[in-house]
Amino acid sequence: MTQPGIASAAFARQQAAILAQALPYIRKYHGKTMVIKYGGNAMTDPALQAAFAEDVVLLKLVGINPVVVHGGGPQIEAALKRLGKQGHFIQGMRVTDAETMEVVEWVLAGEVQQDIVGLIHQAGGRAVGLTGRDGGLIRARKLRLPDSKDPAVVHDVGQVGEIVQIDPGVVQALQDDRFIPVVSPIGFGENNESYNINADVVAARLATVLEAEKLLMLTNIPGVLDRNGALLPELTAQQIEALCEDGTISGGMIPKIAGALDAARSGVNAVHIIDGRVPHAMLLEVLSDQAFGTMIRCA
């Protein structure tokens, strides 16, 4: 039988090794911005929610500047069902009529955003919730969605927006004041109308504008998978195009991958799609030599 003192010493050495391994990464990323797209199971499982908030607070405490952009698809779907309304998607985009837009706004900017802010506060951090209206953060216009097979056909997806401009001033001001920004993907148009914008697209564009060191996209899967279900640890633009053409990448993964690739092409140093179902996967990705998920490269 192992003596208690010996077991305690072995555990202490293991913990010390983990902390020592994190030091070079803390030094490397100190003062850098990381944009985190928060979605999937990590948003609905209480234990994963708590782990996510702890990770974000720890990154802030060691001198890294996390910016959270959240989704909320399951919560929106549940709210629509309570109203007797069925959600409808075209090429991964939620069709958003005026009534659905109202639901999107109160679910994302109310329920979901405030839950995240509260979890970060509970974990010892200080967070502030934002929508695209705050500080003129996200200006948008109506998205006209070309059909993936016939570009001559354009789908009307309602009050779904594409980004015209991101003004990062309010996010940077919060970062400088030691707050963690939590952004809901809602933009506003030239006539003050609201637009539902894909959260992956917002995260990617915000990472570009903020010149982020990393973009981390939490999902419900281990990363991008091939047709046999095997993880693809790295993807280039050419490989992504081929996977889209043969249908391996489809549905909701299309805007996620497109946003990740745009960010990589625009100068974000590292773009990772990681499994949000693994507790502390984000922390392990940032502060250890363990690689999780799929890294997107522009070439």
Identify the CA nearest to 71 among candidates 125, 32, 115, 34: 115
- pLDDT: which is higher, 13 or 60: 60
Domain that holds residue 217: 29-296
Cα→Cα distances 26→31, 218, 230, Å: 9, 21, 31
Token pair listed for 266? 């625009």
Backbone angles phi, psi at 294, to 5 degrees: -115, 130
Distance CA 166, CA 169 (A): 9
With residue 146 as reference, give the H or E element that holds it: strand 138-146
Q: Coil, strand, or helix at residue 295?
A: strand
CB 138 within 8 A of CB 197: yes
The CATH number given to whatever domain includes residue 113 is: 3.40.1160.10
Name which of 11-20, 32-41, 154-163, 261-270 the model is least confident about: 11-20
* 2-22: average pLDDT: 64
Residue at 201 is within a domain: yes
Q: Is residue 3 part of a domain?
A: no
Examine residue 159 and state whether it is found in any structural domain, yes or no.
yes
Pinpoint the alpha helices (H) of 106-191.
113-122, 169-176
* Calpha distance 180→127 (Å, rounded): 4
| Identity of the residue numbered 96 | T
Indicate the number of domains in the chain. Answer: 1
**Does 129 map to a domain?**
yes
Q: Is 94 marked as binding a ligand?
A: yes
Q: Report whether 73 belongs to an annotated binding site.
A: yes
Whether residue 8 lies inside any domain: the answer is: no
Q: Does a structural domain hold residue 24?
A: no
Which residues touch 151 (CB under 8 Å, ≥6 apart)?
none
pLDDT for res 79: 92
- Identify which of 106-110, 221-225, 232-236, 246-250 has the greatest average pLDDT: 106-110
Is 75 contained in some domain?
A: yes
Is 144 annotated in a binding site? The answer is no
What mean pLDDT value characterizes the chain?
Answer: 86
pLDDT digits (tens, 9 = 90+) for 153-172: 888 899 999 999 999 999 99
**6 found inside a domain:** no
pLDDT digits (tens, 9 = 90+) for 29-77: 999 999 999 987 678 888 999 999 999 999 999 999 999 999 998 899 9
